[in-house]
Structure 1
Amino acid sequence: MIKVDNVSKNYGSFTALHSIDLEIGDGEFIAVLGPSGCGKTTLLKLLAGFMGPTEGTISMDDTLLASAKRVLPPEKRNIGMVFQSFALWPHMTVAEHIKFPLSYHPNKIKEGKKELQERINEVLKLVGLNAMADRYPSELSGGQKQRVALARAIAPLPNLLLMDEPLSALDVELRMEMRKEIQKLHRETKASIVFVTHDQGEALAIADKIVVMNQGRIEQIAPPEILYTRPETEFVATFVGKCNLVKGQWQNAGFVPAIDSKNVWPDLGVAESFKGNGIYPVRPEQFQLTAAEQDGVQGIVSFVQYQGHEIHYTVEVGEETWTIHESVFASRFQPGDFVGISLKNAPVQQKSLFTR
């Protein structure tokens, strides 16, 4: 268990982290998600021991790793790190990259040469590099280099594996493949992983839990599905996937869109912060379009984008612009068409909700 307790980090007069509280369970895969400058890399550096907090403490299994007065250096922590730039040594072979941490890590192998070689072979097999043990980094592809970086990090069986945007230097297809590799390594090593990324799809695809950060603060911590379907703040709603923030009024158990008071939408688990601001967050796929003469909020289609499995519509609704995703098998609409908009699997009109 890693515990970050009320941690803040200042750089002069600038505060990079504000009172961060976070717990990472044994074997848990945590993705830290946020825009550039939100503090996610600063948090990773604190966990690694590259610097200490201005306030608060960081501990692992009841051992104090860092406070404002004392910082246990990286080489004395049972951690592994994977960097965005791979950070491989050009003069070392693949096998030598794996051997290095086994010789110098706090968790290093204390047995003889035979046991050391067995562990190297085991790790090579785990990352699928058995046939490339004697190759140098210059002889490897980008994906193979990333596998070497992963192998080096997991070789000494660290309790905590830190990854700083490890896939951002790879092309799209390779990133998809490496996501599977990282998930496989997580299952096999059972290490706790903190994976820093600014890619929402990446975080949703691979993490057990996502920490969303903004301006040095944690906005929400939740499993991917909860984070996507029940965001707690406007920032989370718009940063993690697309979201329409519909303005209106909350009355009793329903929401009345400002654009059309005849329509009432039921509460499908909307957070209190949205209700207080008179907002209903709706994901693009939660809307459905019908012909304009049918029930629903009325709008005009302004843009249509074909995406293979989906049609992405941009619809002008009064002074608001809504994004709506429909299946290619649903009714098709063209720019200029008048349409009705309603929530899927939800009654369009619920007058009884407002009976006093």
Structure 2
Amino acid sequence: MNEARVMGVSKRFGEVVALHRIDLHIGKGEFVALLGPSGCGKTTLLRLLAGFESPSSGEIWLNQELVADQDRRMPPEQRRIGMVFQSFALWPHLTVYDNVAFPLRHQQHVPEEYKQNPRARVAQMLEMVGLGGMEKRYPSQLSGGQKQRVALARAIVFNPTLLLMDEPLSSLDAELRIQMRKEIQHIHRELGTSIVYVTHDQSEALAMADKIIVMRGGRIEQAGTPHEIYYEPQSPFVAKFVGRANFVKGSWADSSTFLLERKGQTSLPVRVSQDLTPFQREQVLPVRPDQIRLHPWHDGQDGVKGRVQHVQFQGRELLYSIQVGEEEWEVSTDIATRFAYGDQVAVELVV
């Protein structure tokens, strides 16, 4: 069935509570990203799924089998779980072939056809990750990106039920990270394995995951699709952590109408299509920089009057800081929308 359930799981280390009653469902073939700042509990949750730690309370189920609670813990090698670490964790004295073939010899529940013909299976996996013909090399003869591909091939060679990835790209340079994202997405499509991917990089989570779990202080702050997390944040923390956000002050007329105050003029109603109920009691509207449009200002112009404070060229976009009353808003526009420092602009919210 290839699914996993975390039910009411808490984890204590002495007096420190690392996880507070976590509930999580990972469906068949689902790509789930655990996203949050350092110390939020995401790696602890991954270690519990892997079997390296036992929960202080609650239960963990894999394929409708109880694998851990506070009284018992099934060891990692019996869970049919693959893991990819940030540090690659390759054996330096073993060749690429032996590193990748290792789980076929030592994991339980390895399909018989892979045991009978390990060379064919290893060759198939190395081709999938773009390392065909490198079986006889040692880790010291590989680049960082190649080492991570070997680690990935080793994690999937025995067809795991669940693939766990702990910040696997954080030690790679920016260009290689983007390339490896594509590799991981390709492997996910090819194998259909459920993936739990730990990261603190929100762009990585938004780009790759089917579902994002935003964690804070050992709790789940919000769970949803990348679109929901980005455009329908359920707390100021999520709005700020996942992409930039302006918290525009005003008042809510109702759940779909925000009244934007304009100095010396009547309030400007802004129609809101997303569910932003948690922000109504704060009397603010979270607005992404790309949800703001800028136009040349002239008297009688509809919209809010602002002044350009800063401009940053970013290749395909321009980042502006716009002074609106006592607030400063971040705005991103395409390269065709050009204003200079000190220009007066009309600001339009499109949410």
TM-score of the superposed pair, with normalisation by structure 2:
0.95
CA distance, structure 1, for counterparts of residue 325 and residue 35 of structure 2: 33
CA distance, structure 2, for counterparts of residue 240 and residue 172 of structure 1: 19
Letter in 2 for 1:254: T
Q: CA deviation at 1:215?
A: 1.0
Q: CA deviation at 1:128?
A: 1.7
Instruction: Decide which of 297, 306, 309 is 1:302's aligned counterpart.
Output: 309
Distance 1:334-1:94 versus aligned 2 partners, 3 A rule: same
Tell me the number of residue pairs that the alignment of Structure 1 and Structure 2 aligns.
344
Q: What is the aligned partner in structure 2 of residue 212 from structure 1?
A: 214
Q: What is the aligned partner in structure 2 of residue 50 from structure 1?
A: 52
CA distance, structure 1, for counterparts of residue 36 and residue 114 of structure 2: 45
Please state whether the residue corresponding to 1:153 is helix, strand or coil. Answer: helix
Distance 1:255-1:183 versus aligned 2 partners, 3 A rule: same
Q: CA deviation at 1:33?
A: 0.6
The 5 Å alignment of 1:263-342 reads 263-293=268-298, 294-330=301-337, 332-342=338-348
Q: CA deviation at 1:249?
A: 0.7
CA distance, structure 1, for counterparts of residue 97 and residue 40 of structure 2: 37
Is 2:231 aligned against 1:235? no
CA distance, structure 1, for counterparts of residue 51 and residue 115 of structure 2: 31
Q: What is the aligned partner in structure 1 of residue 188 from structure 2?
A: 186
Q: What is the aligned partner in structure 1 of residue 257 from structure 2?
A: 254
User: What RMSD in Å do the two structures reach over aligned CA positions?
Assistant: 1.5
Percent same amino acid among aligned pairs?
Answer: 53
Q: What is the aligned partner in structure 2 of residue 351 from structure 1?
A: none
Q: CA deviation at 1:112?
A: 8.4
Please state whether the residue corresponding to 2:268 is helix, strand or coil. Answer: coil
Q: CA deviation at 1:262?
A: 2.5
Please state whether the residue corresponding to 1:264 is helix, strand or coil. Answer: strand
Distance 1:121-1:297 versus aligned 2 partners, 3 A rule: same
CA distance, structure 1, for counterparts of residue 261 and residue 128 of structure 2: 56
The 5 Å alignment of 1:1-356 reads 1-110=3-112, 115-252=117-254, 253-258=256-261, 260=263, 261-293=266-298, 294-330=301-337, 332-344=338-350
CA distance, structure 1, for counterparts of residue 65 and residue 115 of structure 2: 32
CA distance, structure 2, for counterparts of residue 229 and residue 113 of structure 1: 47
| Contact 1:259–1:317 (Cα < 8 Å) also in 2 | no
Please state whether the residue corresponding to 1:5 is helix, strand or coil. Answer: strand
Which shifted more, 223-232 or 35-44?
Answer: 223-232
Distance 1:232-1:203 versus aligned 2 partners, 3 A rule: same
TM-score of the superposed pair, with normalisation by structure 1:
0.93
Which shifted more, 256-265 or 128-137?
Answer: 256-265
